[in-house]
Amino acid sequence: MSPVIVLEDVSFTYGGPLVLEHVNLSVERGEFLGIVGPNGGGKSTLLKLILGLLQPTQGRVLVHDGPPAQARKAIGYVPQFSGFPRDFPIDVEQTVLLGRLGKTRTLAGYRRADHEAAHMAMEETQIRDLGDRVLVTLSGGQLQRVLIARALVCEPEILVLDEPTANIDLRIEVDIFELLKRLCERMTILVVSHDLGFISQYVTRVACLNRTLVCHPTSAISGAMIEQLYGGPVRMIHHDEFPSRGTAA
């Protein structure tokens, strides 16, 4: 089978210096890929290229062997919740149903199948009991599960997450990545994260991005690689199965 996502010699600029330079990446079906790198290294830009929101300055991006814009219905996207307007007067179920737009009719309201899909996504993300809660009343972990459910309700083949556990405590981070691990049994997952020491327990491969990109199997990640990527010493934290008992490594 051909890869589900391919970037071939991709460079990108917003009009100034290159943000991405000669990036090559191939993502296989069913892979759980972690994307790491410093702020300003091009991670969000890379996601926007894969989502078809930006066009490369050089090279090409393929999703399911075609332009990303043609594959948008196959992609679920989870943004950084820190930038999500939580005070908008909408409840959890209505938020999840927004993920059906583009999959269902746009007039005359949602169909029964849309509500059933929303309930299934809410059940899988363990937020079914929060359906009538407005977003402003949710904790950070609850809101993140809502955004994941919204992405799942479109029944994607590829799930893309941008810093899904930013500003969330470690125990909730473990729960969310355990959920992603289960989801990866039926879909391809790309996740941007700063916590390399944590995600290495879950991802099958790590894409290190700081304008240019190099991929490594998780077993090959070393302190020297991380220092080179981030441009300075990095203190790695080991997370074992008991989140509250992580120790410095």
Q: Where are the domains of the chain?
A: 5-85+156-248
Task: Read off the pLDDT band of 228 (50, 70, 90).
Answer: low
53-57, 84-88, 95-99: least confidently modelled range: 84-88
Where is average pLDDT lowest: 21-30, 84-93, 115-124, 174-183? 84-93
pLDDT of residue 78: 93
pLDDT of residue 82: 55
Is the distance from CB of 144 to CB of 176 less than 8 angstroms? yes
* Residues 125, 50, 98: CA angle, nearest 5 degrees: 40
Please check the confidence at residue 249 and state whether its pLDDT lies above 50: no
What is the pLDDT confidence band of residue 166, given thresholds at 50, 70 and 90? confident
For 95, 105, 221, the CA distances from 111, given in Å and listed in that order, are: 15, 8, 48
Q: Specify the range with the lowest mean pLDDT, choosing from 11-15, 98-102, 122-126, 237-241.
A: 237-241
Residue ranges in the chain assigned as alpha helix (H)? 43-51, 92-97, 112-124, 140-152, 170-183, 196-199, 223-230
User: Could you give the CA distance from residue 171 to residue 191 in angstroms, rounded to a whole number?
Assistant: 18
The per-residue pLDDT for 89 is 85
Q: How confident is the model at residue 244 (pLDDT cuts 50, 70, 90)?
A: very low
Q: What is the rounded average pLDDT for all residues in the chain?
A: 85
pLDDT exceeds 80 at position 236: no
Q: How far is CA 64 from the centre of its chain?
A: 18
The residue with greater pLDDT, 239 or 134, is 134
What CATH number has the domain spanning 5-85+156-248?
3.40.50.300
Do 23 and 7 touch, CB atoms closer than 8 A?
A: yes
pLDDT of 227 higher than 60: no
Residues 9-17 have a mean pLDDT of 96
Give CA angle at 207 (201, 208), nearest 5°: 105
Residue 237 — very low, low, confident or very high, per pLDDT cuts 50/70/90? Answer: very low
Closest residue by Cα to residue 189 from 78, 32, 5, 52: 32
Alpha carbon 106 to chain centroid distance? Answer: 26
- Report in angstroms the alpha-carbon separations of 179 from 43, 50, 138, 202, 248: 23, 23, 19, 11, 25
Decide: residue 83, CB within 10 A, 0-12 exposed, 13-18 middle, 19+ buried: exposed
